[in-house]
Amino acid sequence: MDDRLSYAYGVLRPAPSLERDALSAVRGVADAPVALVRHHDLAAAVSPVPRADFSEAALKAHLEDLEWLEGVARAHHGVVETLGAHATVLPLRLATVYLDDARVRDMLGERQETLTTLLDRLADHVEWGVKVYADASSPAARPAPADTAEAADPGRAYLRQRRQQRHAREDAWSAAAEAVRRIEGQAGTLAVAHARHRPQRGRLAGGAGGAGENVSNDAYLVPRERAEEFRALILDTAQGLPGIRVEVTGPWVPYSFAQVPDAQAAPEGAPQR
């Protein structure tokens, strides 16, 4: 049995500049070279990876190793972003592996019509991420200082502080809801598609600014030629609302809108047959 599997990053239409300039310089998962497996006018970017690490059983064990997963994710997304700089790409999920390149070629043939339709739809479009945070710790939401009577009564001061904190949080969430409403209305003038994601919690929730509770976590598909116009519009739309923070990230390869059919039919990481 071959000790290698074929790790697939994404599907695209190959371009001369991609193979000439990009693929020769990029390294993929397990520091492996990246090549294209072709079927007519479609191709999949693939790397050879060790079966010992990427078989179904091995991947289940690796799910407990966050450092290993982070390394794979960084390499995977690095390849996808490289592809996206030269061609429209349909990213595949992390740890999509096939028994060999021939099975990858079979997949391209079996899904050719749907893959071609998706590539046509996403051509010359990028994804922007838009997150809205309710920040009750902002200067506009900070409680007023206690008066003299309250200062002399710690109990009263404590209750007042808790009441003000609750009101500040409610005001921040109300402002955030209004920001989401405004953003969705304005984004629709430029974006051609909108995807909602679950708001982030825990360590991921702070975003680049690090403060506030994530209220919305959305993605928008925007024509490439209007990408910077979209970013400026979203940031301007949220101006003047106290207690909120808006984070716009991108432009990205359109991960949220490139759902390859049957890509998740097998268990996570199971070699495709």
pLDDT given for residue 265 in this prediction: 36
How many C-beta neighbours within 10 Å does residue 256 have?
Answer: 20
Give me the pLDDT at residue 64, please: 85
- Please tell me the predicted confidence (pLDDT) of residue 244: 87
Q: pLDDT band at 39, cuts 50/70/90?
A: very high
Reported as a pLDDT band with limits 50, 70 and 90, residue 264 is: very low
In this structure, the number of other CB atoms found within 10 A of the CB of residue 72 comes to 22
3-state helix, strand, coil in the chain (%, to 5): 45, 25, 30
Hunting for tokens 């690090």 — which residue is that?
A: 210
**pLDDT bracket for residue 63 (50, 70, 90):** confident
pLDDT computed for residue 271 by the predictor: 44
Distances (CA, A) of 208 to 13, 164, 205, 212: 34, 27, 9, 11
If one counts every other C-beta atom within 10 angstroms of the C-beta of residue 134, the result is 26
Give alpha helix (H) positions in 85-197.
Answer: 101-110, 112-122, 148-152, 154-187
The gap from C-alpha 243 to its chain's centroid, in whole angstroms, comes to 25
Average pLDDT over residues 259-270: 48
Is pLDDT larger for residue 2 or for residue 108?
108
The reported pLDDT for the residue numbered 87 is: 92
φ and ψ at 212, to 5 degrees?
A: 95, 165
Instruction: Tell me the pLDDT band of 249, cut-offs 50, 70 and 90.
Output: very high
Higher per-residue pLDDT: 180 or 19: 180
pLDDT at 192 over 90: yes
Looking at residue 147, its pLDDT comes to: 54
Q: What is the dihedral of CA 19, 8, 119, 129, to 10 degrees?
A: -100
The torsion angles phi and psi of 261, rounded to 5 degrees, stand at -65, 140
Question: Longest C-alpha distance within the chain, in Å?
Answer: 82
Other beta carbons within 10 Å of 181: 11
Specify the DSSP class assigned to residue 207: T
Phi/psi at 88 (nearest 5 deg)? -70, 130
Bridge partner list, 96 = 8
| Bridge partners of residue 89, in order along the sequence | 12
β-bridge partners, 125: 223
Rg (C-alpha) for the chain, rounded Å, is 24
Asked if the bond preceding 145 is cis, omega within 30° of 0, the reply is no
Which range is least confidently modeled, 37-41, 119-123, 136-140, 224-228? 136-140
Over 50: is that where the pLDDT of 268 sits? no
Residue-level pLDDT at 242: 80
Distances (CA, A) of 176 to 103, 153, 214, 239: 48, 34, 9, 12
Q: pTM (2 decimals)?
A: 0.79
The mean of the pLDDT values for the chain is 84
8 A C-beta contact, residue 34 and residue 9? yes
Q: Is the pLDDT of residue 252 over 60?
A: yes
Q: Summarize the confidence of residues 31-41 as an average pLDDT.
A: 95
What band does 183 get if pLDDT is binned at 50, 70 and 90?
A: very high
Average pLDDT over residues 63-88: 93
Of 92-96, 109-113, 149-153, 253-257, the one with minimum mean pLDDT is: 149-153
Question: Using the 8-state DSSP alphabet, how is residue 21 labeled?
Answer: I
112 token code pair: 């050719």
For the record, the structure tokens of 60 come out as 């289940």
Q: Which residue has the tokens 């899904």?
A: 111
